[in-house]
Amino acid sequence: MNSQYQHLVQKLEEISHLNGVMSTLGWDQEVVMPSGAGEARAKQMAALAGVIHERMTDPALGEGLYELANRHWQTLGADEQCNVREALRNYELETKVPKRLVQEMVELSSRGHEVWVKARQQNKFADFAPVLRRFLELKIAWAQCVAPESTPYDANIDLFERGTTMAVITPVFERLKQELIPLIGAIQQHAERVDASCLHGLFALDKQEALARKISSDIGFDFSQGRMDVSVHPFCGGSHPTDVRITTRYKENNFAESLYSIIHETGHALYEQGRPHHLGDLPITESLTMGIHESQSLFWERMIAQSKPFFRHYFGLIQQTFPDNFRDADADTLYRAVNHCKPDFIRVEADEVTYPLHVILRYEIEKGLFDGSMAVDDLPEIWNAFMQKYLGITPPNDTLGVLQDSHWSSGAFGYFPSYTLGAIYACQFYRAMLDELPAIEDEIAQGNFVPVKHWLNAKIHCHGKRFTPEVLVRQVTGEGLNPGHFINYLKTKYSEIYRLAL
C-alpha cells in the first residue's frame, strides 16, 4: 500500500473517531444529560467542532489528497479511490468555510435544541424564532462559501441528498400532491370502514418496552453492539457500527406509536450495523445519503411491519402482551387498524398516505425561507394554512404545529425531502426483493426475517459510499427514482383496506 495512502488513512480514522465522540455527546445531550448542563455542553461541542474542523482543513491533509488524486490515482484500488474521492470532497467543503462559522453553527445547534425543547413544551414559537432566524443566516452564509454557483437551498439539500436539487424534487412532490390529496379525500369519505378502536386504551409502558425490544431483536438489531433508550424525539445515533443507539418515546394510551418508531429506528440501526466497518473507519464505510438511509427505516416500518404477513406472525404475541386491548380482535383487524388513514397534526405519527404531505409542507416552507418569500415570524400562520390546504386540518397550537420537529433547531434544512424520497426508494427496493425472493412473505409470516436482513445487507448496506444513490438504486431495482411504484402501492393497498373504487 502506498505510504502516502497509509498516512491518509491514519488522518481520516482520527477524524472519524473524533466525529464519533461528537455523536456520543449529542446522544448524551438528548437522552441522559442533566437539564442544567446545556450551556457547558454547547461550549464543549463547539470546542470539539473546532478541533475536528482543524483536522479536516489541515493543509498537510489537502496536499496528500491532491497528490494521491493527481499523481497516484491509477495505483489505487477502487475502494481506495472511493476514500480519496470522498475525503477530498469533504476537505474542499470544509476549507471553504471559516472556522468561526463552523463553531457558531455547532454551538447554536446545541443551544437551539434546548431552546426548542422549552418552546415546544410552553407553546411559544416566538422564543424559538430568533434561533431559527439566525440559523437561516448561518446556513445561507455556509452555502455561499461551499457552493456559490448554486442556490442556498440546493446547497443545503445536497448536504443530505447528494446530487438532488429542487429541480428534481419539485416535480416528484407535485405529482404526489396531485395523486394523494384526492386519495386521502376518498378515504375520509369512507373512514367508518376501518375500526381502529383496538389501538385505543391503556398499554403498560413496561410491556410496550419489552415488546419493542423483542421485535427489534427479532428483525436483527444486535443489542451487544447497540442500545435502546427514551428521548423527546426518536432517533438513531451512536459513534460506530459497533455502538449504535436508538431511542423512542412511550405513551400509555398509544402503543403503536412507540412500537413503530422503534421499528423505524431499528431500520436505521440495521443499516449502521451493516456498514462495512471491516474496511476501517474510513469514508467508504459511511452510509450513502439520508434518502437511502430513510429507505431502510421505512422498508422495515412500512413494507414489512405494516404488512399482512407481519401481523399473521405477531398478532398472537401482541394479544398475549395486551390481552384486555385485543381480546376481541384478530390479525386482520389489527392490520387494518394500524393501516388506517386519518390526517393528523404530528408528522412522526402520520400514516403512510398522509405522511408525504407533511414532508411537502416542510419542503415548501424551507424553499420560501431560503428564497425570502416567507418570513420566520409568519411561520405559524403559514404552517397552519398549508395543513388546512393539504390535509384539511388546522393545528390548535404551535406545539402540535410548527414547533413539533427538532430538525430546524440543529440547522438541518434540506433534510425533510429525504423522508419521502426514502419512502419511494423503499417501495422500489421491496418490489425488487419480491422479484428475487418470491417466497419471502411466507418467511415473514413465519417470523423468519433473516433473509430480508441478509438481502438488504448484500444489496445496500455493504456498499457504503461506493456508488452514487442513482447508481445504487439502478443496480438494485433496474431503474432510477420512480414515484409511480409508490403511488400504485398506496392506491392498491388502501383501495383494498377501504373498499374504494379508484
Q: Which residues are catalytically annotated?
A: 265
Residue ranges of alpha helices (H) inside 32-58 are: 38-56
CA–CA separation, 334 vs 95, rounded Å? 54
Q: 410: how many CB neighbours lie within 10 A of its CB?
A: 18
Closest CA to 84 of 12, 19, 158: 12
Q: Strand runs (DSSP E) across 94-150, as ranges?
A: none
Q: Is the dihedral of CA 162, 165, 171, 177 positive or negative?
A: positive
Alpha-carbon gap, residue 68 to 81, rounded angstroms:
9
d(CA 193, CA 497): 8
Nearest residue to 141 (alpha-carbon basis) of 98, 107, 103, 111:
98
- Reported as type and span, the H/E element at residue 248 is strand 243-248
Contact 82, 283 (CB under 8 A): yes
Residue with cell 444486535: 222
- Give which of 37, 153, 49, 157 is closest to 109, Cα–Cα: 49
